[in-house]
Amino acid sequence: MSAAESLGKPLCTLAFCWRLERRDGVTIGLTSHDRDMTIGHVRYRAAPGMMPSAIRSGITAEGADMDIEGALTSDAISEADLMAGRWDGAALEVRLTEWEAPGALWLLLARGAIGAVGRKGGAFTAELIGAAHVLRGAVAPSTSPDCRARLGDRQCRVDMAGRRRAVPVAAVEDGVAHVAGLAAGVYAFGTLRWLTGANGGIVQAVIDNGTDEVMLADPPPFAVEPGTLAVLTEGCDRQLGTCRARFGNAVNFRGEPYLPGTDLLTRYPGA
């Protein structure tokens, strides 16, 4: 039965279904129905407190962005994980089905990624960013003296093999992770991804590192037990000198370090 025929029936037993896939690979299903449903080998847990806002469909400049509101009733989406950022950027599909025949009607309503997540009392709100969000970006990048690429991406092309290292973290104090046997400054502007413990899967920005400590941009959301494993990934300060001397990659430098600045016409002798 087609979607038009299903929705045209005198009586419909409709339920919303959400499929969420976090950046660390964890995938869950939720439904607005009051009972669990299994569709396509995915169990959609009952979360009747979750409801989407109006969904716009069609070729418009606004795209298919929407908001999702719900109560913190599902064990799969905890308040702590929301506030820790585990669900930021998660891929999300919103579909419509009939709870009397789960999967017979499987109408895609929206697809995108979770943007800003907020909390008010015992409820949360999450913004769904649609594919049209890409069209709002700049057509051409602005010039900059610093490199606009990210270390190891398709524009940078630096081979990241051997530039990641799994390490045990002895302790974390005031945003400083104690890790032994490091080369000073190598992981500055890089990342630390927690592998085990309460912070497992969370990625944090690294400001700088010494021989036995790593300065994080923010303290970990949860307590860190001694011996917790993490992966350190090297970073780059996006300067041409660093790109040339450390990585030998000046040919792929995505910046304009010698382009005169906007103050060129206002300069005077001796300035």
What is the reported pLDDT for 167? 95
Please count the other Cβ atoms lying within 10 Å of the Cβ belonging to residue 46: 17
Grouping H, G, I as helix, E, B as strand and the rest as coil, residue 116 is: strand
At 29, give phi and psi (nearest 5°): -125, 140
CA atoms of 60 and 206, how far apart (whole Å): 40
- In tens digits, what is the pLDDT along the chain, a chain of 271 residues? 566 666 677 767 888 898 888 888 888 888 888 899 999 888 998 876 666 655 544 444 444 455 565 544 556 677 778 778 888 888 888 888 988 888 888 888 878 888 767 666 666 666 777 666 666 777 777 888 999 999 999 999 999 989 999 999 999 998 999 999 999 999 999 999 999 999 998 999 999 999 999 999 999 999 999 999 999 999 999 999 999 999 999 999 999 998 876 666 676 666 5
At 265, give phi and psi (nearest 5°): -75, -15
Quote the tokens at residue 262.
Answer: 């906007």
Domains detected in the chain: 3-134 (2.30.110), 164-233 (2.40.10)
What is the reported pLDDT for 110? 79
What is the reported pLDDT for 120? 65
CA atoms of 109 and 17, how far apart (whole Å): 10
Q: Provide the edge-to-edge strand list for the sheet that holds 213-216.
A: 164-169, 228-233, 191-194, 203-209, 213-216, 176-178, 171-173
Question: What burial class does residue 203 get, using C-beta atoms within 10 Å of its C-beta: 0-12 exposed, 13-18 middle, 19+ buried?
Answer: middle
Q: Pick left, alpha or beta for residue 250 (phi over 0 → left; psi -120 to 50 → alpha; otherwise beta).
A: alpha
Place of tokens 């169990």: 43
Question: What burial class does residue 107 get, using C-beta atoms within 10 Å of its C-beta: 0-12 exposed, 13-18 middle, 19+ buried?
Answer: middle
What is the reported pLDDT for 270? 61
